[in-house]
Structure 1
């Protein structure tokens, strides 16, 4: 698996450079640069607009008591799409635009969530038994009173 990531890190910039050359030859240098700058602007707007909307949706899911799994996944994919749009390159922009389509995100969520088990946990702590600690009273335990210790900053 690590080899695929290493190969991807080598091939993706080469493919992006090849796409820059092809697009530059087809439409010219200035329109190509304008498209790259437009991608950066759209990416920053997407991160701002969609990110705030997803945060509000996650907040409403939590207040309703439901797990915000889909909202968290949407937030991650939209954030990743925004970062891909900010990075210069046409292949990354195509992938980012695909991630911004809600149907694609829903399909990705369904295909990935079928392989993941979500376990709910609680944030409460309960002590069982009589509450006494079996470690107290042993010779290796040092039991300090309230006035025998201090907390250093």
Structure 2
């Protein structure tokens, strides 16, 4: 709850204070132009990195591998895009850090390591590996949506068409 309070109440106040201080130094219209310019440059960077990440993900899928790292990078790029388009200099700094491949990779590793510790989550790739989506040889034959291949399902089969045919054959004789 405290983190949401920080995010939605304190952060906009800090952003406004920074915008006012920058506006006093370089002028109001220059500050507005700088915010618009940072949004345009940020959108361009996110688009470029997103296309690169999508191409890498497609290549991995064609090779039969799960593009786990690329999915994580795509999520971080989505967050970066939102931060860069949001007016303000602090959000632009965080958005730029998520856009750059080096810092995005470091942050992705940090997030994935912490996901292992919190609530037993497995991170981006752990969930898929446990369900048989390994590249190369498959260690587990389970389907992600159904029973294992060696599960035995007991049931009865009733052929309705053959009983109708035999009933009509008895009536005609």
Q: Give yes or no for TM over 0.5.
A: yes
Computing the radius of gyration from Cα coordinates, the structure with the larger value is 2
Confirm or deny that 1:88 pairs with 2:111.
no
SS in 2 for 1:114: helix
Mapping for residues 9-48 of structure 1, pairs under 5 Å: 9-48=8-47
1:111 maps to 110
Q: Output the aligned Cα RMSD.
A: 2.6
The answer to which structure, 1 or 2, has the higher relative contact order (CA under 8 A, 6+ apart) is 1
**TM-score, normalised relative to structure 2:** 0.68
**TM-score, normalised relative to structure 1:** 0.76
Q: 1:68/1:97 Cα in 2 relative to 1: closer, same or farther (>3 Å)?
A: same
Cα distance in 1 between the residues matched to 2:10 and 2:73: 28
Mapping for residues 60-139 of structure 1, pairs under 5 Å: 60-115=59-114, 116=116, 117=122, 118-119=126-127, 120=129, 121-122=131-132, 123=143, 126=149, 128-129=151-152, 131-133=153-155
Deviation at 1:48, TM superposition (A): 2.5
SS in 2 for 1:105: helix
Deviation at 1:127, TM superposition (A): 6.2
Q: Structure 1 regions of 5+ residues with no counterpart?
A: 138-142, 147-153
2:2 maps to 3
Q: Structure 2 regions of 5+ residues with no counterpart?
A: 117-121, 133-142, 162-173
State the number of aligned residues: 137
Dislocated runs of 4+, deviation >6 Å:
none
